[in-house]
Amino acid sequence: MRASRSVVFAIFCIPNALSGIAAAGPSPAPNGGLFGTMSLPDDCYAIRRTERSGFEKYSTGERFTDPSEKPGAPPVYYPVTGASMTRDEDAYADIITNHVADILCVGDTISVFSPLYSNGGNVLIVANRLDIHAPIDTRIYFDIGNRVRYFRMSKIMGAYYERVLTYYYKDSPEGIAVGGTVFAPELPSGALIHFSDESPQDGSPPPEVLSEDQALVQSGSITVFAKKIEIDESLRSGTAQTSGLCTTAKPFAFQAAGLRGGKGGIGSPPHCGAPVGAGFKCADELRVNSGKNSPPGPGGNAGSVAIYKLNSKFSADEIVLLTKASNVAGGPSGPVAIYRTVDSKEQEAGASPNVCDWTSIGQHTAATSGQVGAVRFGIATPFDAIRRGRPIRH
């Protein structure tokens, strides 16, 4: 029986896999999201494909978010250390391609006990019974804690402001800590490139995907053919991401929402950022001011959820439950609150480095949200599931 299932899997997934085969030659490791952290349920299979992300032109320097990144621009040197900017190739290397997984589950009973992450791939489930105890999530997860990308200085800045950066950039209501960094269904953020001199400077805007490449960061779709679906109580009514920092989110059973837009780059820290030497206080000197974070980036497009009941019709109550358990909202704008980075006087007065303890000084105009996906229900036969045709809908 296992061999026959493998054949069915090939029918569904090989065309997509072939379309994503990359050219030969060395290249940076693709972004695998959270796929590598999970265990596939019994009777589930995955074929992985590597796709462009839409951000590759930032790595080559063809596109940039700040004039200082423009090819031929004078080099930016940072205070005290004299360190220059990190290279574009290094800053964007981990997001120029995505490792996407198309996942197929075929069996009598499919039980999802740990989150199922496709990193943008599609999920197809065919079963008599589907038990969901953890989310089925088709969003792309990016490393939002990659310091080389968000802080373009090649040396450590100082313990206090390193914490400022960590709190700001790693904040996400759905971030997952992995190996010292954080992956989240959030598009890349803008960078900190400049320090404040006499004049504070705002952060750089987030890199954006061109309109013709939006499909590259769209969440995958979820299709289910089952006689019976049981969903854990904790996954029956989730809460979607918002454009706020320091918020929380409750999970959905079927998660195909669009990615949240990237954060605007944090504002410039003061040129003088920490006491140096006995009796010296930055607050007593010049160059102690700081800048504001830049406006956010737009959200990504959602995937879709299609759920078909084998050989019978869903009841009205079942449709209500499954709809509440599905999220196909377009990705919201990145965070809109305006924050000014802690300056030297505030730091020496004991201000918290955690952005969640700061007071917003205004609101940026929200960037556009991503396109909303669809939730569909219908009746199907097992042959409809194999043909992937158009089952009769309510």
Please tell me which of 2-11, 29-38, 71-80, 304-313 the model is most confident about, judged by mean pLDDT: 304-313
Task: Please report, for the chain, the start and end positions of each structural domain, with discontinuous segments joined by +.
Answer: 2-387
Strand partners, 337: 363
Q: Please report which confidence band the pLDDT of residue 58 belongs to, taking 50, 70 and 90 as the band edges.
A: very high
Least confident residue range of 53-57, 196-200, 288-292, 331-335: 196-200
**Alpha-carbon gap, residue 77 to 68, rounded angstroms:** 11
Question: How many other C-beta atoms lie within 10 A of the C-beta of residue 37?
Answer: 15
In terms of pLDDT, which residue wins out, 20 or 147? 147
172-205 tens-digit pLDDT: 999 999 988 999 999 999 999 888 766 788 999 9
Residue 394 has pLDDT above 80, yes or no: no
Contact call for residues 335 and 296 (beta carbons, < 8 A): yes
Residue reference for tokens 């920092």:
245
Q: In what order do the strands lie in the sheet with 142-143?
A: 142-143, 181-184, 176-178
Take residue 289 and report the two structure tokens written for it: 């001011």
Task: Supply the pLDDT for residue 38.
Answer: 87
Length of the chain: 394
What is the rounded distance in angstroms from the CA atom of residue 370 to the CA atom of residue 139?
A: 13
Res 46 pLDDT > 50 = yes
- Residue 371 half-sphere exposure, CB side, CA atoms within 13 Å? 11
Examine the pLDDT at 253 and tell me if it is beyond 80: yes
Helix (H) or strand (E) holding 382: helix 382-387
Comparing CA positions, the residue from 59, 50, 16 lying closest to residue 30 is: 50
d(CA 119, CA 48): 10
Q: What percent of the chain has pLDDT over 90?
A: 69
Reported as type and span, the H/E element at residue 51 is strand 44-52
Could you tell me if 213 and 56 are in contact, meaning their C-beta atoms sit under 8 angstroms apart?
A: no
Q: For the residues 139-166, what does the mean pLDDT come to?
A: 89
- Compute the distance between CA of residue 344 and CA of residue 351 in angstroms, rounded to an integer: 10
**What percentage of the chain reaches a pLDDT higher than 70?**
85
> For position 25, what pLDDT does the model report?
44
CA distance 258 to 262: 12
Give the sheet arrangement for strand 136-137, strand by strand.
Answer: 116-117, 136-137, 254-255, 326-327
Rounded Cα gap, residues 177 and 230, in angstroms: 29
DSSP E strands, the chain: 44-52, 97-112, 116-117, 123-132, 136-137, 142-143, 176-178, 181-184, 222-231, 254-255, 305-310, 326-327, 337-338, 362-363, 375-380
What is the structure's pLDDT at 26?
A: 55
Q: What is the DSSP letter of 157?
A: -
User: Among 186, 189, 191, 194, which Cα is nearest to 204's?
Assistant: 191
